[in-house]
Amino acid sequence: MGGFIETMPAMFFGGSSAITFLHYDIDLPHLFHTHFGGRKHIILFDNKWKKRLYCLPNTTYALEDYDVANPDFEKFPALMGVEGYEVFLEHGDTLFMPTGMWHWMRYIDGSFSLTLRAWDQSISRKMAGVWSLFMHGAVDSVLKVIFKGSYAKWREKLAFKIAEKELKKGKPRN
């Protein structure tokens, strides 16, 4: 890693049962997520599963229609066989998430967390982070403004199409 982005720590607060939708961080940093207070339930997926997670095109997040902790495999068949990691954090626990790691979080108890971000040492990974900020931030925002609801519907349909196509291929390659 090329060092912490010390000017950009982030604090997250959540009440009991609050949920953070499934996503990965847009600028592709490594994350050190330290939890304080109660408990937090986290489910993680390697980026290799991106297409099977019903990722919305031009974004860094998945459809919000499914319960990550208890998915409906009939409605979302591409999720079947996707391998993830399940973690429960308690006061003082720190979780390291490498760049591109998908994460979903549910506060079991009202509490808060602090995330420190760190750049990858690789120039190519830094460039990928900048590209992601541009593509998934600026371009997606412009398309939302121009095409509004039709763009949202198109993204959802395409997310299903990509996930089902990927399911037919089988396990992703590293």
The verdict on residue 92 lying in a domain is: yes
Q: How many domains does the chain have?
A: 1
Q: What is the CATH number of the domain that holds 34?
A: 2.60.120.650
Q: What is the tens place of the pLDDT at every residue in 103-146?
A: 999 999 999 999 998 888 889 988 998 899 888 888 888 999 99
Structure tokens at 38: 């109660």
The verdict on residue 76 lying in a domain is: yes
Please, are residues 37 and 110 in contact by the beta-carbon 8 Å criterion?
Answer: yes
DSSP letter for each residue of 84-102: EEEEEE-TT-EEEE-TT-E
The verdict on residue 21 lying in a domain is: yes
d(CA 12, CA 15): 10
Number of DSSP helices (H) and strands (E) in the chain, helices first:
2, 8
Q: Which amino acid is at 23?
A: H
Beta-carbon contacts of residue 85 (< 8 Å; ≥ 6 apart): 43, 44, 45
Question: Taken in order 146, 148, 151, 152, is the CA torsion positive or negative?
Answer: positive
The verdict on residue 113 lying in a domain is: yes
Residue 27 sits in which domain range?
Answer: 10-169
Q: What is the tens place of the pLDDT at every residue in 55-113?
A: 999 899 999 888 999 999 999 999 999 999 999 999 999 999 999 999 999 999 999 99
Please, are residues 44 and 85 in contact by the beta-carbon 8 Å criterion?
Answer: yes
The verdict on residue 89 lying in a domain is: yes
